[in-house]
Structure 1
Amino acid sequence: MELIEAIKTRRSVRSYKDEPLPEQTVRELLEAATWAPSSMNNQPWAFVVVQDRNYMKDLSDRAKKFLLERMDLFGGRYRRYAGTLSDPAFNIFYNAPVLVLIYGNKEVYSYAGDCSMAALNLMLAAWGRGIGSCWIGFATGIGNTHEVKAELNVPEGYELVAPVVLGYPAGPAGKGVRGEAKIINWLK
């Protein structure tokens, strides 16, 4: 698949086959993530890979509870998801076989942007291999708690930037529509 085609056709996948990804494939995707640009080549990212479905289900349940308990702290952004988050059957990770948590070293001022670019590399590399992905914003809060960081052996000074699930899509990707680039100014 050509790069521009991958950029234009990659979509968030929210339905996955019950089929594991080979460890070597996941390692190759992580390597692709590390080729992302980073400010001053600091490469502030660190990865946690979770393939334990029981742990992912438990983390999903805790994330939903975390968000529901803090609904008002987020300025109402999550209120429209209250019903979904209250549903015991809803798994925020969409039952994907792999969860990659991209943590950034907060000592590097550009860690959030750098880790976001690593996540995009990961998702585009996955799509190029027929593997779906989805950035799971619902996992960020719980993934930054001391409890979860301790469970995952995340070093002090790291913050979760990009929780991304990976797996083989259960169906075709949706169609996306983009408008023209909004150019505020073009100085010549």
Structure 2
Amino acid sequence: MELIEGLMTRRSIRHFTPDAVPEEFVETVLRAAMQAPSAANAQPWHYVVINDRLMLEKVTEFHPAAESLHEAPMAILICGDSQLEKRPDRWMQDCSAATQNMLLAAHGLGLGAVWLGIHPDPIRIDNMRLLLGLPSHVHPLSLVAIGYPGRVLGRVDRFRPERIHHNRW
């Protein structure tokens, strides 16, 4: 898929087929995430691949927007490690860039994905930390549900010229 076409056609997919995602696709998505820019090239991220059905269902108990996990065959939690940072408090930006790379890579592979926010909600953070046994210096930012799309969504034009300013407001 051509890059600009991929950017313009990526959509949040919330319904999935039950088909498993091949391991080579999972690795490609993770490799794309790790290619993201990061402050001082610190790469302060960790990823938790979740494909255990019971664990995915458990997330839906404390995350009200995670209904897609009832159908998704897997999800990946993106976490920032404050011990790996070279610039304080940049892990959120770094992990956000990694999350976007992950979404685009999934789309490029013909997969669907949706970004489920974890940070800054303390209930979601605490429950993810407890569910996955995260150390205190590892901070969950986002969870990406991934699978083969159960529905094909059309292209949406989100360009808003009135939101563009040049040199001054």
Both proteins in one fold, TM over 0.5: yes
Verify: 1:95 aligned to 2:71, yes or no: yes
Question: 1: CA distance between counterparts of 2:80 and 2:105?
Answer: 20
Task: Output the aligned Cα RMSD.
Answer: 2.1
2:145 maps to 165
1:36 maps to 36
Counterpart residue identity of residue 38, structure 1: S
* SS of alignment partner, residue 26 of structure 2: helix
Counterpart residue identity of residue 8, structure 2: K
Question: 2: CA distance between counterparts of 1:176 and 1:40?
Answer: 35
Verify: 1:47 aligned to 2:28, yes or no: no
Contact 2:112 2:146 in 1 (8 A): yes
Contact 2:8 2:155 in 1 (8 A): no
Segments of 4+ in structure 1 off by > 6 A?
none
Structure 2 vs 1, CA of residues 148 and 124 (structure 1 numbering), >3 Å: closer, same or farther?
closer
Q: Could you say which structure has the larger radius of gyration?
A: 1
Question: 1: CA distance between counterparts of 2:103 and 2:62?
Answer: 25
Question: 2: CA distance between counterparts of 1:179 and 1:94?
Answer: 32
Q: Which moved more, 1:120-129 or 1:151-160?
A: 151-160
Alignment of 1:10-25 (within 5 A): 10-25=10-25
1:106 maps to 82
Contact 1:14 1:94 in 2 (8 A): no
Q: Which moved more, 1:105-114 or 1:51-60?
A: 105-114
Where structure 1 has 5 or more consecutive residues not aligned to the other structure, the ranges are 65-84
How far the C-alpha of 1:121 sits from its partner, in A, is 0.6
* SS of alignment partner, residue 7 of structure 2: helix
Question: 2: CA distance between counterparts of 1:94 and 1:151?
Answer: 17
* SS of alignment partner, residue 149 of structure 2: coil
Question: 1: CA distance between counterparts of 2:58 and 2:130?
Answer: 15
Where structure 2 has 5 or more consecutive residues not aligned to the other structure, the ranges are none
Alignment of 1:3-152 (within 5 A): 3-64=3-64, 91-107=67-83, 108=85, 109-137=89-117, 139-140=118-119, 141=121, 142-145=123-126, 147-152=127-132
How far the C-alpha of 1:143 sits from its partner, in A, is 4.1
Structure 2 vs 1, CA of residues 178 and 94 (structure 1 numbering), >3 Å: closer, same or farther?
farther
* SS of alignment partner, residue 29 of structure 2: helix
Structure 2 vs 1, CA of residues 24 and 153 (structure 1 numbering), >3 Å: closer, same or farther?
farther
* SS of alignment partner, residue 144 of structure 1: helix
* SS of alignment partner, residue 93 of structure 1: helix
Counterpart residue identity of residue 96, structure 1: A
Contact 1:10 1:127 in 2 (8 A): yes
Question: 2: CA distance between counterparts of 1:102 and 1:7?
Answer: 21
How far the C-alpha of 1:163 sits from its partner, in A, is 0.9
Question: 1: CA distance between counterparts of 2:12 and 2:68?
Answer: 13
How far the C-alpha of 1:56 sits from its partner, in A, is 0.8
